Amino acid sequence: MDWFIRFVKGAIVGIGAILPGLSGGVLAVIFGIYDPLIRFLADLRKDFVKNFKYFLPIVLGVGAGIVLFSAVVAKAFGKYEAQFVCLFIGFVLGTFPSLYRTAGLKGRSGKHLVIMAVTAIALFLVLLKGEVVLTNVTPSIPVWLASGAIVGLGFIVPGLSPSNFLIYLGLYDKMANGIKNLDFAVVIPLVIGAGLCILIFAKLMTWLFDRYYASVYHFILGTIIGSSLVIFPVVVFPAFSKDALAASGLSFISSLIFCVVLLIIGIIISWKFSQLEERVERPR
Protein backbone atom coordinates (compact mmCIF):
# COMPACT_ATOMS: atom_id res chain seq x y z
CA MET A 1 0.00 0.00 0.00
CA ASP A 2 2.83 2.40 0.86
CA TRP A 3 4.43 1.70 -2.53
CA PHE A 4 1.14 2.40 -4.30
CA ILE A 5 0.55 5.61 -2.34
CA ARG A 6 3.98 6.90 -3.34
CA PHE A 7 3.37 5.91 -6.97
CA VAL A 8 0.07 7.85 -7.02
CA LYS A 9 1.73 10.87 -5.42
CA GLY A 10 4.44 10.75 -8.09
CA ALA A 11 1.84 10.50 -10.85
CA ILE A 12 0.03 13.58 -9.54
CA VAL A 13 3.34 15.46 -9.27
CA GLY A 14 4.11 14.46 -12.87
CA ILE A 15 0.75 15.76 -14.03
CA GLY A 16 1.34 19.01 -12.16
CA ALA A 17 4.72 19.35 -13.86
CA ILE A 18 3.08 19.78 -17.26
CA LEU A 19 -0.26 21.24 -16.24
CA PRO A 20 -0.48 24.95 -17.15
CA GLY A 21 -0.66 27.17 -14.11
CA LEU A 22 0.68 24.61 -11.67
CA SER A 23 4.06 23.29 -10.60
CA GLY A 24 5.34 19.80 -9.92
CA GLY A 25 7.34 21.33 -7.08
CA VAL A 26 4.17 22.68 -5.44
CA LEU A 27 2.53 19.25 -5.49
CA ALA A 28 5.76 17.64 -4.26
CA VAL A 29 5.65 20.01 -1.27
CA ILE A 30 1.96 19.26 -0.72
CA PHE A 31 2.55 15.50 -0.61
CA GLY A 32 5.64 15.70 1.60
CA ILE A 33 8.01 14.59 -1.16
CA TYR A 34 9.95 17.79 -1.78
CA ASP A 35 12.23 18.15 1.23
CA PRO A 36 13.42 14.52 1.51
CA LEU A 37 13.87 14.25 -2.27
CA ILE A 38 15.95 17.42 -2.48
CA ARG A 39 18.14 16.24 0.40
CA PHE A 40 18.62 12.85 -1.28
CA LEU A 41 19.60 14.45 -4.59
CA ALA A 42 21.95 16.85 -2.82
CA ASP A 43 23.91 13.91 -1.36
CA LEU A 44 23.27 10.75 -3.37
CA ARG A 45 25.79 8.71 -1.39
CA LYS A 46 23.98 9.08 1.93
CA ASP A 47 21.61 6.12 2.55
CA PHE A 48 21.50 5.55 -1.21
CA VAL A 49 19.85 2.12 -1.19
CA LYS A 50 17.19 3.11 1.37
CA ASN A 51 16.36 6.34 -0.45
CA PHE A 52 16.45 4.71 -3.88
CA LYS A 53 13.88 2.12 -2.80
CA TYR A 54 11.70 4.81 -1.24
CA PHE A 55 11.75 7.19 -4.22
CA LEU A 56 11.61 4.57 -7.00
CA PRO A 57 7.77 4.38 -7.07
CA ILE A 58 7.62 8.19 -6.92
CA VAL A 59 9.92 8.54 -9.93
CA LEU A 60 7.98 5.86 -11.82
CA GLY A 61 4.77 7.66 -10.92
CA VAL A 62 6.12 10.99 -12.18
CA GLY A 63 7.01 9.39 -15.51
CA ALA A 64 3.63 7.68 -15.77
CA GLY A 65 1.80 10.88 -14.88
CA ILE A 66 3.63 12.90 -17.52
CA VAL A 67 3.16 10.31 -20.28
CA LEU A 68 -0.48 9.51 -19.52
CA PHE A 69 -1.45 13.13 -19.00
CA SER A 70 0.23 14.17 -22.24
CA ALA A 71 -2.07 11.72 -24.01
CA VAL A 72 -5.21 13.42 -22.67
CA VAL A 73 -4.11 17.07 -22.80
CA ALA A 74 -5.57 17.75 -26.21
CA LYS A 75 -8.80 15.86 -25.55
CA ALA A 76 -9.74 16.51 -21.93
CA PHE A 77 -8.26 19.95 -21.56
CA GLY A 78 -9.37 21.09 -24.97
CA LYS A 79 -12.91 21.44 -23.63
CA TYR A 80 -12.67 21.17 -19.87
CA GLU A 81 -9.32 22.70 -18.95
CA ALA A 82 -10.72 25.11 -16.37
CA GLN A 83 -12.80 22.43 -14.66
CA PHE A 84 -9.91 20.00 -14.30
CA VAL A 85 -7.60 22.77 -13.12
CA CYS A 86 -10.06 23.30 -10.25
CA LEU A 87 -9.31 19.73 -9.16
CA PHE A 88 -5.66 20.69 -8.62
CA ILE A 89 -6.56 23.92 -6.87
CA GLY A 90 -8.49 21.68 -4.48
CA PHE A 91 -5.29 19.76 -3.76
CA VAL A 92 -3.67 23.00 -2.65
CA LEU A 93 -6.59 24.16 -0.51
CA GLY A 94 -6.90 20.83 1.27
CA THR A 95 -3.32 20.75 2.48
CA PHE A 96 -2.41 24.41 2.89
CA PRO A 97 -3.19 24.53 6.66
CA SER A 98 -0.83 21.60 7.20
CA LEU A 99 1.87 23.29 5.11
CA TYR A 100 1.45 26.50 7.08
CA ARG A 101 2.02 24.63 10.33
CA THR A 102 5.08 22.93 8.84
CA ALA A 103 6.51 26.29 7.78
CA GLY A 104 6.35 27.47 11.39
CA LEU A 105 8.02 24.46 12.98
CA LYS A 106 11.26 26.39 13.53
CA GLY A 107 9.62 29.66 14.40
CA ARG A 108 7.62 32.33 12.59
CA SER A 109 7.84 36.10 12.77
CA GLY A 110 6.33 39.07 10.99
CA LYS A 111 9.28 39.02 8.59
CA HIS A 112 8.32 35.55 7.40
CA LEU A 113 4.71 36.58 6.83
CA VAL A 114 5.95 39.55 4.79
CA ILE A 115 8.13 37.21 2.71
CA MET A 116 5.09 35.01 2.06
CA ALA A 117 2.83 37.93 1.11
CA VAL A 118 5.38 39.72 -1.11
CA THR A 119 6.27 36.47 -2.90
CA ALA A 120 2.61 35.65 -3.52
CA ILE A 121 1.82 39.11 -4.91
CA ALA A 122 4.98 39.32 -7.02
CA LEU A 123 4.53 35.87 -8.57
CA PHE A 124 0.84 36.53 -9.21
CA LEU A 125 1.64 39.75 -11.08
CA VAL A 126 4.54 38.21 -13.03
CA LEU A 127 2.49 35.23 -14.20
CA LEU A 128 -0.51 37.40 -14.97
CA LYS A 129 1.63 39.76 -17.05
CA GLY A 130 3.47 36.89 -18.72
CA GLU A 131 0.20 35.32 -19.85
CA VAL A 132 -0.09 37.88 -22.65
CA VAL A 133 3.50 37.44 -23.84
CA LEU A 134 3.45 35.11 -26.83
CA THR A 135 6.61 33.99 -28.60
CA ASN A 136 7.30 31.18 -31.02
CA VAL A 137 10.47 29.13 -30.84
CA THR A 138 11.44 26.56 -33.45
CA PRO A 139 11.82 23.11 -31.80
CA SER A 140 15.30 21.57 -31.84
CA ILE A 141 17.43 19.40 -29.55
CA PRO A 142 19.01 22.44 -27.79
CA VAL A 143 15.53 23.94 -27.37
CA TRP A 144 14.20 20.71 -25.83
CA LEU A 145 17.25 20.54 -23.53
CA ALA A 146 16.44 24.06 -22.35
CA SER A 147 12.76 23.13 -22.05
CA GLY A 148 13.72 20.15 -19.89
CA ALA A 149 15.74 22.48 -17.67
CA ILE A 150 12.65 24.69 -17.29
CA VAL A 151 10.62 21.62 -16.30
CA GLY A 152 13.35 20.70 -13.81
CA LEU A 153 13.15 24.17 -12.26
CA GLY A 154 9.46 23.52 -11.69
CA PHE A 155 10.43 20.67 -9.38
CA ILE A 156 13.22 22.58 -7.63
CA VAL A 157 11.37 25.91 -7.21
CA PRO A 158 7.83 25.21 -5.95
CA GLY A 159 5.31 27.57 -7.51
CA LEU A 160 7.20 27.97 -10.77
CA SER A 161 4.99 26.62 -13.55
CA PRO A 162 7.15 25.34 -16.43
CA SER A 163 4.08 24.83 -18.60
CA ASN A 164 3.30 28.54 -18.50
CA PHE A 165 6.70 29.37 -19.95
CA LEU A 166 6.46 26.63 -22.55
CA ILE A 167 3.07 27.98 -23.60
CA TYR A 168 4.58 31.44 -23.93
CA LEU A 169 7.29 29.99 -26.17
CA GLY A 170 4.75 28.06 -28.28
CA LEU A 171 6.28 24.73 -27.24
CA TYR A 172 3.69 23.29 -24.86
CA ASP A 173 1.50 21.46 -27.37
CA LYS A 174 4.56 20.25 -29.28
CA MET A 175 6.05 18.88 -26.05
CA ALA A 176 2.81 17.13 -25.11
CA ASN A 177 2.51 15.54 -28.55
CA GLY A 178 6.16 14.49 -28.49
CA ILE A 179 5.74 12.77 -25.11
CA LYS A 180 2.44 11.20 -26.12
CA ASN A 181 3.99 9.76 -29.29
CA LEU A 182 7.21 8.78 -27.42
CA ASP A 183 9.25 10.86 -29.87
CA PHE A 184 12.76 10.30 -28.49
CA ALA A 185 14.05 13.42 -30.23
CA VAL A 186 11.79 15.27 -27.78
CA VAL A 187 11.72 12.95 -24.76
CA ILE A 188 15.46 12.29 -24.35
CA PRO A 189 16.57 15.97 -24.40
CA LEU A 190 13.73 16.82 -22.03
CA VAL A 191 14.79 14.12 -19.54
CA ILE A 192 18.48 15.09 -19.75
CA GLY A 193 17.73 18.80 -19.33
CA ALA A 194 15.40 18.22 -16.38
CA GLY A 195 17.77 15.75 -14.68
CA LEU A 196 20.81 18.02 -14.95
CA CYS A 197 18.87 21.03 -13.66
CA ILE A 198 17.51 19.12 -10.66
CA LEU A 199 20.93 17.71 -9.70
CA ILE A 200 22.65 21.08 -10.04
CA PHE A 201 20.15 23.05 -7.94
CA ALA A 202 19.24 20.39 -5.35
CA LYS A 203 22.31 21.11 -3.22
CA LEU A 204 21.57 24.83 -3.26
CA MET A 205 18.03 24.29 -2.00
CA THR A 206 19.30 21.96 0.74
CA TRP A 207 21.78 24.63 1.86
CA LEU A 208 19.02 27.24 1.97
CA PHE A 209 16.72 24.96 3.99
CA ASP A 210 19.45 24.21 6.52
CA ARG A 211 20.23 27.87 7.13
CA TYR A 212 17.02 29.75 6.41
CA TYR A 213 14.26 27.19 6.99
CA ALA A 214 11.46 29.56 7.98
CA SER A 215 12.26 32.16 5.31
CA VAL A 216 12.57 29.59 2.52
CA TYR A 217 9.42 27.71 3.55
CA HIS A 218 7.36 30.91 3.75
CA PHE A 219 8.76 31.86 0.35
CA ILE A 220 7.50 28.50 -0.92
CA LEU A 221 4.10 29.15 0.65
CA GLY A 222 4.03 32.47 -1.16
CA THR A 223 4.76 30.76 -4.48
CA ILE A 224 1.95 28.30 -3.80
CA ILE A 225 -0.52 31.11 -3.07
CA GLY A 226 0.56 33.23 -6.04
CA SER A 227 0.67 30.41 -8.60
CA SER A 228 -2.72 29.12 -7.42
CA LEU A 229 -4.52 32.47 -7.39
CA VAL A 230 -3.32 33.40 -10.87
CA ILE A 231 -5.05 30.31 -12.26
CA PHE A 232 -8.45 31.92 -11.70
CA PRO A 233 -8.05 34.97 -13.99
CA VAL A 234 -5.84 33.09 -16.46
CA VAL A 235 -7.66 29.76 -16.83
CA VAL A 236 -10.88 29.49 -14.83
CA PHE A 237 -12.65 32.82 -15.38
CA PRO A 238 -12.16 32.85 -19.19
CA ALA A 239 -13.93 29.46 -19.32
CA PHE A 240 -17.16 31.24 -18.38
CA SER A 241 -17.16 33.55 -21.39
CA LYS A 242 -19.87 33.06 -23.98
CA ASP A 243 -17.50 31.62 -26.61
CA ALA A 244 -15.76 29.29 -24.13
CA LEU A 245 -19.06 27.93 -22.83
CA ALA A 246 -20.23 27.29 -26.40
CA ALA A 247 -16.98 25.45 -27.18
CA SER A 248 -17.30 23.26 -24.10
CA GLY A 249 -20.97 22.53 -24.67
CA LEU A 250 -21.75 23.54 -21.09
CA SER A 251 -24.07 26.17 -19.70
CA PHE A 252 -22.85 28.70 -17.16
CA ILE A 253 -24.52 26.80 -14.31
CA SER A 254 -23.30 23.35 -15.37
CA SER A 255 -19.77 24.67 -15.90
CA LEU A 256 -19.81 26.29 -12.46
CA ILE A 257 -21.11 23.08 -10.83
CA PHE A 258 -18.44 21.07 -12.67
CA CYS A 259 -15.73 23.39 -11.30
CA VAL A 260 -17.08 23.31 -7.75
CA VAL A 261 -17.50 19.52 -7.69
CA LEU A 262 -13.94 18.91 -8.90
CA LEU A 263 -12.64 21.52 -6.47
CA ILE A 264 -14.33 19.68 -3.59
CA ILE A 265 -13.03 16.32 -4.83
CA GLY A 266 -9.51 17.76 -4.91
CA ILE A 267 -9.85 19.04 -1.35
CA ILE A 268 -11.10 15.65 -0.12
CA ILE A 269 -8.34 13.73 -1.90
CA SER A 270 -5.61 15.99 -0.55
CA TRP A 271 -7.09 15.78 2.94
CA LYS A 272 -7.08 11.97 2.73
CA PHE A 273 -3.49 12.00 1.51
CA SER A 274 -2.56 14.23 4.45
CA GLN A 275 -4.00 11.60 6.80
CA LEU A 276 -2.16 8.79 5.03
CA GLU A 277 1.05 10.84 5.13
CA GLU A 278 1.17 10.49 8.89
CA ARG A 279 1.25 6.70 8.56
CA VAL A 280 3.95 6.51 5.91
CA GLU A 281 7.58 6.65 7.01
CA ARG A 282 9.70 9.13 5.08
CA PRO A 283 13.48 8.99 4.82
CA ARG A 284 15.30 11.62 6.85
Residue-level pLDDT at 81: 72
Number of domains making up the chain: 1
User: What per-residue confidence (pLDDT) applies to 93?
Assistant: 80
Determine, yes or no, domain membership for 13.
yes
Residue 282 lies in a domain: no
pLDDT in the model for residue 122: 92
Is the residue at 217 inside a domain? yes
Per-residue pLDDT, 253? 92
| CB 28 within 8 Å of CB 152 | no
Q: What pLDDT, on a 0 to 100 scale, did the predictor assign at position 121?
A: 94
Write the Ramachandran bin of 66: left for phi over 0, alpha for psi from -120 to 50, otherwise beta: alpha
In sequence order, which residues have a C-beta less than 8 Å from that of residue 151 and are 6 or more positions away? 17, 18, 24, 162, 190, 193, 194, 197
> Is there a domain that residue 283 lies in?
no
What range defines the domain where residue 262 resides?
2-277
Domain contains 198: yes
Is residue 92 domain-resident?
yes
* Digitized pLDDT (tens) for each residue of the chain, 284 residues in all: 788 888 988 888 888 777 655 667 777 877 778 878 888 887 888 888 888 988 899 989 988 888 887 777 656 656 677 787 788 788 778 877 777 887 888 899 999 999 999 999 998 888 777 665 544 577 889 999 999 998 888 788 765 667 767 766 668 778 888 888 888 999 999 999 998 988 888 888 778 888 898 998 899 888 878 877 877 887 788 888 888 888 778 889 998 998 999 889 988 887 776 666 555 444 44
Q: Is 191 part of any domain?
A: yes
How high is the pLDDT of residue 218? 92
Give the other-Cβ count within 10 Å of 211's Cβ: 9
Tell me, what's the pLDDT at 159?
58
